[in-house]
Chains A and B, each alone.
Chain A
Amino acid sequence: MRSVIVDTLTGKRAHRKVDIPHILLVICMLALVCFTVLPMVAMVCRAFMPLDELYVYPPRIFVKKPTLSNFSDLLNSLNASAVPFTRYIFNSLLTTGVSVFLSIFVSCAGAYGLSKFKPKGSKTIFAVITAALMFSSYVTQIPNYMIVNGLGLVNSYWALILPKIAVAYNFFLVKQFADQLPDSILEAARIDGAGELRIFWNVAMPLLKPAWSTLAVFSFVSNWNDYFSALVYINKDAMKTLPLALQSLAGGAGVVARSGSVGAATLITTLPTIVIFCILRGRVMQTMTYSGIKS
């Protein structure tokens, strides 16, 4: 690995004295990767550690005798309690899934309309959406709570879905990608007599696939990991999503009880985003190429 990087950095093949700064860079890079990966390794291992290994001194990072008992503890013993853990998994899957699906549809239609029809006022709309990339969602939280509360949606799944469909970031990604699609394909479909909705659905959506796959990844990650919305909108135990449920399970700072179940629950909460990213990685890279902001 080291020699590969040294070669590519200097742009020359071997027979050259090894450069100290380059070696330092490679060491930094490996150190950084250790820093990013070790907590993840510990997280995965703890999910499979039998109880005696979880409490052993000195503490272990790697698991010796992996077991699934933490998962069965989490699902069985807690299933006996008022709200089974599977309910939280279901809540997270449902709200995240619906948010992602609706966000894909709404953002793609909007970005397509803006990019390909350039209606009057489209420059202003895009400028506002670009500026909204800088609005942290926390800023709008209080009025959003008033709206959700006014609609009677507190403690419902819609509270976790509705405010998070039209996200500036998602719109921006699709719009930048749509800009570089050739208009000629759409014109050809128009000459064939296809209706506008048909063209959008049958011609534009397949062409936008890399963009909305990317949107699916980012939207999934942010909704799945969203803790604040659930904290604000949900106070019924049965409606909690995974981050909130995991936090009550772990009992906050300093609680050591249920270490095994917490380890299993942490893995269940963390893994889906990584799996989705791995599946769609190629398309994400294709889209990110166009994601810059020209100011």
Chain B
Amino acid sequence: MKMLQAHKKRAPMTSAEKRRTVTGYMFLAPFLLLFVTFTMIPIAVAMGLSLTNYNLIEKPEFVGLTNYINLILEDDVFLKSLGNTLLFAVLTGPTGYIASFLMAWLISLMKRGRGAFSLAFYAPSLTSGVAMATIWLIIFSGDRNGYLNDFLLNLGVITEPILWTKDADYLKWVIVIISVWMSMGTGFLVFLAGFQNIDPSLYEAARMDGLKNRFQELRYITIPLMKPQLLFGAVNSVVGAFAIFDVATSVAGMPSPNYEAHTIVAHLYDNAFIRMNMGYASAVAMILFLMTFIVGRICFYVFKSED
């Protein structure tokens, strides 16, 4: 209180403003304390650590950009994990995002059965990747007892069972399919709420102005009005798409054979908590941070609201 009064001399505030600020921060204090401790300071610390060698026991030793240089020039496993992460992100992020947008749109147009359809579509994103992996491993089992092999053998598409999770080429696709399955709900609820919230009279007016069908409505009215929801959904998809880990390790093991399913987060975990190279792992974390943040910022630009 006294500090704030002293502060008043430098930047004059009315007493009402002062009261608001004091009360506001009183409510904000618990959140801010924890947020600064477990999010903001850690980001700064991770940045700092990425420039050091640190094993949790000895004091961190400053090494400049060596970790980053080693990651890019020396560490083949990192490059493999980067490639896998980008592949998974490019395939699962947009697929899940577009599928959930289309599904929310179609459901919003339905007259009956909305609840059941939304639940059926959204339920996978509520599940634990580690838990569902036990089912996926049976679906993609390499012998005749696997559901997928059994199905394809019956159809006559294949004559021999395929080793879905052992063969490197198939393994990546298996992880993509499971990740898509889990990510389809990310933006779904936001989109569904967005569709429900658009004033129907806008569509009537547009129809008078010559819009012919639902697709044109989507293009000229719905999408422009839903930019804030589209952005929120996009940001969540981006964060999720770059962070694929649970599914990949549960299906392929940790580390996966030949690092075929190694992702950036797996590389981070491996270096930080198995090899105790905290500095090196922090450099991995910073690269993940930059990738997510840059793509997130691009989304902010693409879905800029015009008001």
Contacts and interface: CB of A to CB of B under 8 A. Distances in A.
Interface of A: 1, 4-5, 8-11, 25, 29, 32-33, 35-37, 39-40, 42-43, 46, 55, 57-59, 61, 105-107, 109-114, 116-120, 122, 125, 128-129, 131-136, 138-147, 149, 162-166, 168-169, 171, 196, 200, 221, 224-225, 227-228, 231-232, 242-244, 246-247, 250, 252-254, 262-263, 265-266, 269-270, 273-274, 277-278, 281, 284-289, 291-295
Contacts of B226: 292
Main secondary structure of the interface of B (DSSP, over half): helix
A269 B131 CA distance: 7
A142 B282 contact: yes
| Nearest 8 Cβ contacts at the A-B interface | A292-B228, A113-B27, A110-B31, A119-B24, A117-B24, A143-B42, A166-B34, A288-B193
A141 B285 contact: yes
Interface in B229-257: 229-232, 235-236, 238-239, 242-243, 245-246, 250-253
A7 B205 CA distance: 20
Interface residues of B, number: 117
B1 interface: no
B99 interface: yes
A293 B232 contact: yes
B135 A42 contact: yes
B128 A243 contact: yes
Nearest to B30: A106
Contacts of A244: 130
Contacts of A112: 27
Contact of A134 (B145, B269, B293): B293
Contact of A200 (B27, B42, B189): B27
Contacts of B214: 9-11
8 contacts: A8-B109, A109-B28, A109-B31, A119-B20, A139-B46, A144-B42, A243-B131, A288-B194
Nearest to B45: A143
Contacts of A285: 189, 192-193, 196
B37 to A, nearest CB: 7
A167 B118 CA distance: 26
Interface string B28-59: 10111111011111110110010000001000
B94 interface: no
B165 A253 contact: yes
Contacts of B239: 133-136
Given A128-B40, A139-B46, A293-B235, A146 B250 contact: no
B238 A142 contact: no
A292 B227 contact: yes
A243 B154 CA distance: 34
Contacts of A120: 13, 17, 21
A42 B127 contact: no
Contacts, number: 330
B176 interface: no
A225 B128 contact: yes
A272 B144 CA distance: 32
Contacts of A287: 193
Given A4-B112, A5-B109, A57-B144, A138 B45 contact: no
Contacts of A109: 27-28, 30-31
A138 B285 contact: yes
Contacts of B213: 9-11
A276 B120 CA distance: 15
Contacts of B22: 119
Contacts of B272: 141-142, 145
B68 interface: no
B139 A293 contact: no
B49 A142 contact: yes
B305 interface: yes
Interface in B263-296: 265, 268-269, 272-273, 278, 281-282, 285-286, 288-289, 292-293, 296
Which one of A142, A281, A289 has the greatest number of beta carbons of chain B within 10 Å?
A142
Contacts of B131: 225, 242-243, 246, 265-266, 269-270
B190 interface: yes
Contacts of B137: 250, 253-254
A82 B31 CA distance: 39
A134 B17 CA distance: 32
Which one of B46, B130, B239, B269 has the greatest number of beta carbons of chain A within 10 Å?
B130
A118 B245 CA distance: 39
B119 interface: yes
A232 B273 contact: yes
A163 B30 CA distance: 13
B117 A33 contact: yes
B122 interface: yes
B82 interface: no
Interface in B150-197: 150, 154, 165, 181, 184, 189-190, 192-194, 196-197
Given A1-B113, A117-B27, 16 more contacts: A8-B110, A10-B213, A61-B147, A109-B28, A113-B27, A114-B24, A134-B292, A135-B239, A142-B46, A142-B281, A253-B165, A263-B134, A270-B127, A277-B123, A288-B189, A295-B305
B273 to A, nearest CB: 6
Contacts of B238: 134
Contacts of A164: 38
Contacts of A250: 133-134, 137
Contacts of B109: 5, 8-9
B303 interface: yes
